[in-house]
Amino acid sequence: MNRPLRRLSFIVALMFLGIMASTTYAQFFNAQALNNDPRNVRALYREYGNNRGPIVASNGQILAESVPVDSPFGFLRTFSGGNVQQAQMYAPVTGYFSIVNGMTGIERAENDYLNGSAAALWVNRLQDMFTGTDRRGASVEVTVVPAVQEAAWNALGGQRGAVVALNPQTGAILAMVSKPSYDPNDLAVHSTGVASERFQELVRADHDPLLNRNISTLYPPGSTFKLVTAAAALETGAVLDGQMIPAPVTYTLPGTSHAMQNFGGASCSPTNEMTLHEAMVISCNTAFAMLGVELGAERLANQAQRFGFNSSFEIPMRSAISGFPSVEGLTPDRQALSGIGQGDVTSTPLQMAMVAAAIANHGVMMQPYLVQTVRDPSLDTIYTASPDTLGQAINSTTAEALTSMMLDTVNRGTGTGARIPGVQVAGKTGTAQTAAGVAPHAWFVAFAPVDNPTVAVAVVVENGGNLASEATGGRVAAPIARAVIQAALGR
C-alpha cells in the first residue's frame, strides 16, 4: 500500500473511532443528562404521557391523579378533581407537576414511584413489557388527615402563615397548610405557553404563594424558643425546678445601652425575681434574656442542636435549616436576644413543631414523615413507613417540667386562647419582632392531650394577621392551634 492510501486509511480509522466514542458517550455516559434536558421533546412525552400513580390522603381521598385525555401526552395531571380550594389546600403537600416548570412537593420527592421507574417496581415493568401494557405508576398514600388539614386551612383563614401538625409518638405529619397558596391545576396544563405564563404570574405574585412556609421559610421564633432556653437551663443544672431567677422590669443588654422590656412594659414580679416555671407561664422577656446570658452561647447552641437546629428534616421533601448562631462571636447581648428567640435565631414552623413534639414524647424526637404507604398498580404494598427515632433531645424529667409549664401557660397564662373543655392542652405563645415598624409574627406551639399526646402543632401568622401590630401569639395563633387539636382529637 502506498503512503497516500495508508494516510487515508489512518484518517478513516480515526473518524470511525471518533464516531464510536461520541456515540458511546451520548448513549451511555450522557444518557441521563439528555433524558432530563427540558428541550428533549421525546423525554417530555415519555414522562408526561405516563399513567402516573395517584397521591392519596390517609382516608383514601385522591389529592392528585392522571386522567386520560385526547392529546399527544395521553394523560393530564389533575389535583383534587379540579376543585380549586381543595387543590390549594393540599398544594404544600402534593406540590405541582408541570410540563415546563418541573415538579415540587410529593410529586418530585416520590417521582420514581409515581412514574413507575422505581427499582421496587421492576416486576411490574417486566409484566407490562410482556403484556404490551403502558407503564403505570405506584400510588403514594400520605399521612395527612383531611379533617385536620381542613381545620387548619379554615382556622388560618385569609391570613398569611403556616400550620403544621404531627403525631409526637410516631412523627407522622397530620396537616401541613401554607398561605397564600396556589392551584397546581393551573401549572399542569399541556400548553407550554400557558403553563409558563401561569408560573410567571405566581412568581410575580405578592408573598410567594408557591412557597411551602412550613419547611422553606425561616422566621424568628420569638418566645416559643424559650422552651429551648428553659430546656438548656434544666438539662445543664444551671437552674433547678422551683429555683428563683432574676426577672426585672427592664434589662439593659450587656455592652449596649438598649433596655429590654417585657410585653407592654409590664413587671413580671413585684420582687424582680420568680421561678422558671412562672417566667414561662407569663413569658417574661427579661428573665429569659438574662438566663440566655447566664447559660452562654455553647450551652444554648448544644440544646438547640439536640432539638434539630442547624440541620434539616427530610419528610421526604428537605426542610430549610433552622439556625442557631455560631458560638464564636455570639456576644453576651446576642446571647440575651437568642434566649428569647430573637436576634440571629431562625426557625421553620416544622422545627418548632418538633420541639413541642419532643417535649410531648418524654424528650424523644421522632423522624417526621409525610409518606405512609406506597402501593404498586396491583395495590400490593411495596413500602410502609415505620416510626424512627432521631434522638433524645432532653431527659424525661426535663420534659415533665416543661410540660407542666406549658400546661399552666394554657390554663392561666398567655395561652388561654388554646383551652379546650375536657382536654389538657400544653402550649407556648410567641410574638416575634421583625423589622422596625413592621408588625410582629404571631406564634403558638402546643400538644395534647397532656397525659397521652397524639398531636403536636405549630402555628405562625405573619405580621400579626388580621390584628397586625396589636397581635400576640395568644390572641391570633393560639385559637388556630385549638381548632387543629380539636379536629385531630375528633372533638
For 252, counting Cβ atoms within 10 Å of its Cβ (0-12 exposed, 13-18 middle, 19+ buried), the class is: middle
Q: How far is CA 71 from the centre of its chain?
A: 36
- Conformational region of residue 363, where left means phi above 0, alpha means psi within -120 to 50, and beta covers everything else: left
User: Could you tell me if 414 and 444 are in contact, meaning their C-beta atoms sit under 8 angstroms apart?
Assistant: no
The catalytic residue among 223, 319, 322, 338 is: 223
Question: Using CA atoms, how far apart are residues 247 and 25, in angstroms rounded to an integer?
Answer: 70
Instruction: Give residue for cell 388556630.
Output: 480
Question: Using CA atoms, how far apart are residues 370 and 315, in angstroms rounded to an integer?
Answer: 6
Instruction: Give residue for cell 372533638.
Output: 491
Question: Using CA atoms, how far apart are residues 191 and 170, in angstroms rounded to an integer?
Answer: 42
Per DSSP, which regions of 298-406 are E strands?
Answer: 364-366, 371-375, 381-384, 389-392
Helix axes 349-360, 396-412, angle to 10 degrees: 110
CA dihedral 395, 401, 407, 412 (to 10 degrees): -160
Question: Using CA atoms, how far apart are residues 189 and 205, in angstroms rounded to an integer?
Answer: 20
Q: Is 71 among the catalytic positions?
A: no
429: helix, strand or coil: strand
CA dihedral 311, 313, 318, 320 (to 10 degrees): -50
Instruction: Give residue for cell 417574661.
Output: 284
Name the residues annotated as catalytic: 223
